[in-house]
Amino acid sequence: MSEAFTKSMARNIFFGGSLFFFLVFVGLTIHTTRELPERDHRENINEMVVLGKKVWEDNNCIGCHTLLGEGAYFAPELGNVYTRFGNSKEAIKGFIMSRPVNGIPGRRSMPQFNLTEEELEGIAEFLKWTSEVNTANWPPNIQG
């Protein structure tokens, strides 16, 4: 059997395999490029969502939180916090304003960021928009 396996057969497997997976790669890239605009509902990005993203970045929320899985694992996932808080922007704003909660042994608390009413509205709009991205039902449970 080993004698029947020639150099040219090995070369064909190499080139054939390379070509096959290159074509799979091209196909998946085209598929992703077509899918993304439908999934990220970018047409709903308004001024408040943009402001919220800026507040998110300026305050380094990602330094403690994950957003759709990306970020730090110190604090809860926020990609679906809007749904977790009962589809309520007011609940998100109220939570952020009421921090920190100190004096409970062993419990982490988020610091106070002293955001303005407009910044709070922006962050709530940004987190609402994020929760509406079609992530194929990720995260798999409401806790994040």
For ligand HEC, the binding residues (CB under 6 A) are 56, 59-61, 63-65, 74-76, 78, 81, 84, 92, 95-96, 99, 101, 108-111, 113, 123
User: In the complex with ligand HEC, which residue's Cβ is closer, 31 or 108?
Assistant: 108
Find the shortest distance in angstroms from Cβ 42 to ligand HEC. 21
User: In the complex with ligand HEC, which residue's Cβ is closer, 45 or 91?
Assistant: 91
Find the shortest distance in angstroms from Cβ 73 to ligand HEC. 11
For 59, phi then psi, to 5°, come to: -100, 5
Prior bond of 139 cis (ω within 30°): yes
Strands (E), the chain: 66-67, 70-71
Inter-residue contact 95 to 82 (CB < 8 Å): no
Q: How far is CA 12 from CA 15, 20, 37, in A?
A: 5, 12, 39
Find the shortest distance in angstroms from Cβ 98 to ligand HEC. 9
Find the shortest distance in angstroms from Cβ 29 to ligand HEC. 33
